[in-house]
A and B are shown apart, each in its own frame.
Chain A
Amino acid sequence: MLNKTAFSSIGKRQPRSEDYRLLTGRGRYIDDIDISGALHACFVRSPYAHARILSIDGADAEDLPGVVGVFTGNDLSQWTTKLRMAPPIEGVKPLEMTTLPIDKVLFHGDLVACIVAEDRYLAEDAMELVDIDYEPLPPITDMFKALEDDSFLIDETLGTNLISQQSFATPDVHRIMSNGDKVIESTFSEHRQTHLPIETRGIIAQWDAGCEHLTVHVGNQATHPYRSALAARLRISESQLTVISPDVGGGFGQKIALYREELTVAALARYLNQPVRWREDRMENLMAASHAREDWVRTRTVVEADGRLKAMSLEIVEDFGGYCFYPANYLARVIAMILSGPYKLQHYAYDVKVVLTNKCGNGPMRAPMAITSWIMDGTIDNIARELGMDPVEVRRINMIREDEFPYQMATGETLEDINPFETMEKGLALIGYEKLRKQQKADQEQGIYRGIGICNVVESTTYGSKFYKSAGIPGSGHEAAWVRVEPSGAIIASVGISATGQGYETAFAQTVAEGLGVNAEDVSVQLGNTDVAPYGMGSRGARGGTAGGGTAYLAGQDAQKKVLAIAAKMLGLNTDEQLSMKGGKVWRRLDEDWSDTKLTLADVARIAYLDPTNLPQGMEPGIQIHKTYDPPSMTYSNSTHFCQVVVDVKTGAVCIERYLIVENCGTVINPLIVEGQQHGATIMGLSGTLFEQVIYDENGQNLTGSLADYLIPTATEVPDLEIVHMNTANKRTPAGIKGMAEGGVMGAIGALSNSVSDALLPFGIVIDKHPISPNVLRTLLREKE
């Protein structure tokens, strides 16, 4: 009747409870929130990549009927503080930015002034009348040139464009590298991309002058850290600020930081004492929200004759754009720390440089460390080519086996509870690897160029506080949740993580239900309001499941403890040891059998709230649990991606014939949601590798300001994905959850790139940059024809 060991809510393929409102058009995104009398803001943006602002004349614009005002950096500096990005991290230089630029603009699309008007049409009419005098400066658009001694500087006070540099080396690595063994060199580079949420950024700010309280509706992934930042920059108390993140149409990392536009709107709502709203348009989002990637990577490797890795060094140079909304080492450093993934490597060195240029500032994008698996498995493919070995053999000989876990990487990180060898072997069997290789050879003779790409992924999912500390990244990895059982037995829970479409309301309801022993349908999850939710660290990385779901699960368990203690008293028992909750009812064990006591959660809740003299001695009335939890330093998930392509050498088109993922993401809270995440992540990786690209010309002009030029795939461009699960639990986390939202991106980039290189092996072409467009492939092939 009652199985105490297996989960009942966790693991259920439960339809998403949020989908009813979202799919019937009843969701509440920023534009669905009607605020009477709200003014509209729009931003005047720089047409230059790099220029001094000599003067801004908004008089003609302000004369236009319906225009409230034109506000500049000098205006905003009266009401807001500067952002000082100066984390105590060795090798990272401090940087300051004002709310709106005052003297200098740093990229095409950078902010110059804010116009507030009665509606957005008027604001845009006014924009054409603002007269700005610029002195153009030489644009810095190439990160390598930015590093040259005579380069113009983004920030003169730094004396360099090298904003961050960090190095690491194990004691013997340089000696081994210079022993005279052949050094195998591989390079990889990712182009600049952007997050492209369907809902662009947006904010509504309302100042209540009577209560001296600011309420902000903003699409955001981490509402509490956002509230801390916004309160500090407005010089008000966190208690004077409510941040509400309603339904949000996607974030992918773009909606974590407090942006300058949002701060401007909030400050102006307070100054004007009138609600102000701003909806970013698509061109602004593509050009000026936040970008990601753009790096160049080189590995140098020495190996044994049988392909075993002896030592490896890694160099990364990353183009971070003109502004730092995150510490500059935030993204690239993690790549360096977890590079070796599922492979044994003890002699290792890295050097990571981050450079400022005249482009939009970079931020984390699902996955910040996306290139990691391609670097590692791409390097292994190069080793295989160099030694004339099968790429699978080189993977096998280097892979960490089951009996070698926990495995400490050269950087000190510990891998455990993963099964990369098993996922790879399973996938090889499923695709019929040996047979496929024979087929490939036969097809080549017919002029059909088929490629098989393999990418093993070890995904860093949940960052605990300890990892942040050792990676030199400021911040905490803990999370918070509360669970309340109301007098009627109604259950409400909240977590300090805001949703941007992931289905958290459903997943967290399932983990609370599991901990409390109720049905998930009966748990109402309320997210995204700083007055309701506990202070948590928000949605980022793949922490939603482990940190969010895990904390909610623990809070549910604590709530169940209290319920059972009350139930024992109600049943006249001395102890609750033989009691358990299931389906919202109290069950009692007699010998091996469980029986229904007929006592419900509502019965217990009524006592807790309305008849507290009947509570066990000393117990506080009510059932309200608040819980915080700091996950282990790092949890890891793993997977193997297989991509089979045919390259049409005439047109340069890449056709994905088969895509298989064998994965281990630990305990699955909801298979429906997890598969959706894995599909989404994999497609995002394929999309970035084939299509998406932010292009700046040599003058720093952004050429990809519309979706006609920034290409994302539609359903017709996306292959079917086969996913096979080989999940094993994490022994250290609540319910064994690991997380999994970003690994698909990592695997797709590597598997697809490696498959195209494999297909083009007869031409001696190795893919070392993206996007792999037909035009690029034809250019490479033309050189070989």
Chain B
Amino acid sequence: MKPGKFTYHAPENLHAANQLLAELGDDAKIIAGGQSLIPVMNLRLAQPDHLIDINGISELAGIHQENGLFTLGCLTRHADVETSPLLMDKFPLLPAAAKRIGHLAIRNRGTIGGSLCNADPAAEWPLIAILLDAHLSIQSSGGERHTPAKEFIQSVYTVDLGADEILTTVAFPPLARGEGWAVNQICRRTGDFALVSVAVTLKLDRQGHIERLRLCLGSMDVTPFRLIDVEQAARGKIPDKAWIHEMAGIAFDAGSPESDMHASAQYRREMAAHLTSEVLTEALGRCRAGT
């Protein structure tokens, strides 16, 4: 379990990193937290000739509130999200999601950008980024472009990122005042990748009817996905027990989960239904508590 030979580069700024990428192309890999890349290199499932270490590029880290968005640099560690006073105060959904990632040692090292670029269908950040319609900024030596998370994450371990591009920031639009939320998952052990995960936001109008629902399922298909039709159809409905039950039933039938050694597709469907019911109840509680 030793990696093959590679050349190590540590560019000092984003521009230099982009230039290296433009020059080396497919033979190079960016390394940030290394929580996924290093194990696959040790197993020799990945054998890049060049590693471009972006950890020294300080402009890529940090959490900011700007232009009404919460912007996280791609080098922001999961543990920084988990413990950010700004986010805990203004956007508690993000710390709550970060806390569910792996173990503390993993969260200290792993980055939000790395997780999104890795696009594991069971990972937290793809789920949350799609749930919240996050905007991603991508830099190449040719310039910057922006893309919604839903379009960036294409399939299992597959994202819309050119060989010379770097994901630089993730911007989350904030929740509306009084908008409830909840995130939950089923794992074999604390810290494992989720067998199924479900995240939700829910906004009620003054009469208690649904104004906006977002419901996102993870590990149920090749990428996390939103139930857009269902979300739209929910508008104006009363979120009572029967409705939650109906939503659980819809979640059961959603996606096309796979069977593996830890869970059958059928188990995943049952848990998607169970978790949907749990998170909707929890989010409703938050709506009603006015947080």
Contacts and interface: CB of A to CB of B under 8 A. Distances in A.
Interface of A: 120-121, 124-125, 128, 281-283, 650-652, 691, 695, 703-704, 706, 708-709, 711, 713-714, 716-717, 773-775, 778-779, 782
Contacts of B39: 706
A125 B4 contact: yes
B44 interface: yes
15 contacts: A121-B5, A125-B4, A125-B5, A650-B274, A651-B186, A651-B271, A651-B274, A704-B261, A709-B261, A714-B190, A773-B188, A774-B267, A775-B262, A775-B264, A778-B270
B176 to A, nearest CB: 32
A716 B267 contact: no
Nearest to B189: A717
A16 to B, nearest CB: 26
A775 B263 contact: yes
A779 B264 contact: yes
A91 B268 CA distance: 47
Interface string B53-65: 0000000000000
Interface in B187-240: 188-193
Given A651-B271, A704-B261, A778-B270, A281 B188 contact: no
Given A283-B1, A775-B263, A714 B271 contact: no
Interface string B247-272: 00000000000000111101100110
B9 to A, nearest CB: 19
B43 interface: yes
Contacts, number: 61
- List the 9 closest pairs (A to B, CB-CB), nearest first: A281-B1, A716-B190, A121-B2, A775-B267, A775-B263, A124-B2, A778-B267, A120-B2, A695-B261
Contacts of B186: 651, 774
A650 B274 CA distance: 8
Interface of B: 1-5, 39, 43-44, 103, 186, 188-193, 261-264, 266-267, 270-271, 274
Contacts of A775: 262-264, 267
Contact of A714 (B189, B267, B270): B189
Contacts of A704: 261
Contact of A711 (B3, B5, B44, B188): B188
B128 to A, nearest CB: 22
A132 B47 CA distance: 22
Contacts of B193: 708
Nearest to B3: A121
A691 B189 CA distance: 9
Contacts of B103: 714
A574 B191 CA distance: 72
Contacts of A708: 193
Contacts of A695: 261
Nearest to A123: B2
A708 B261 CA distance: 11
Contacts of A652: 267
B190 A773 contact: no
A651 B275 CA distance: 10
A711 B189 CA distance: 8
Contact of B189 (A703, A713, A779): A713
A120 B3 CA distance: 10
A691 B261 contact: no
A716 B263 contact: no
A703 B1 contact: no
Nearest to B186: A651
B189 A716 contact: yes
A201 to B, nearest CB: 14
A706 B264 CA distance: 20
B188 A703 contact: no
B1 A282 contact: yes
Contacts of B274: 650-651
A745 to B, nearest CB: 20
Given A778-B267, A782-B266, A691 B4 contact: no
Contacts of A283: 1, 43
Contacts of B270: 650, 778
Contacts of B262: 709, 773, 775
A124 B44 CA distance: 10
A126 to B, nearest CB: 11
A377 to B, nearest CB: 27
A714 B188 contact: no
A703 B266 contact: no
A691 B5 contact: no
A725 to B, nearest CB: 31
Given A650-B274, A714-B191, A775-B264, 11 more contacts: A121-B5, A283-B43, A651-B274, A691-B189, A709-B262, A711-B192, A714-B103, A716-B189, A775-B262, A778-B267, A778-B270
B27 to A, nearest CB: 17
Nearest to A703: B261
A121 B190 CA distance: 34
Nearest to A282: B1
A282 B261 CA distance: 20
A782 B252 CA distance: 15
A695 B191 CA distance: 22
Contacts of A124: 1-2, 4, 44
A195 to B, nearest CB: 19
A742 B22 CA distance: 60
Contacts of A282: 1
Contacts of A711: 188-189, 192
Contacts of A774: 186, 188, 263, 267
The CB with the most chain A CB atoms within 10 A, among B262, B263, B267, B271, is that of B267
A155 B193 CA distance: 41
A599 B123 CA distance: 71
A717 B192 CA distance: 12
A81 to B, nearest CB: 31
B252 to A, nearest CB: 13
A336 B75 CA distance: 59
A774 B1 CA distance: 32
Nearest to B271: A651
Contacts of B2: 120-121, 124
A128 B1 CA distance: 12
A281 B267 CA distance: 33
A575 B250 CA distance: 92
A593 B263 CA distance: 72
Contacts of B192: 711
A717 B43 contact: no
Nearest to B191: A714
A709 B261 CA distance: 8
A125 B103 CA distance: 32
Contacts of A773: 188, 262
Contacts of B3: 121
The CB with the most chain A CB atoms within 10 A, among B4, B192, B261, is that of B261
Given A125-B5, A283-B1, A778-B270, A717 B261 contact: no
A415 B126 CA distance: 61
A751 B263 CA distance: 25
B122 to A, nearest CB: 11
A125 B3 CA distance: 9
A651 B39 CA distance: 31
Nearest to B268: A775
A651 B188 CA distance: 11
B195 to A, nearest CB: 8
A128 B2 CA distance: 12
A180 to B, nearest CB: 43
Nearest to A119: B2
A709 to B, nearest CB: 7
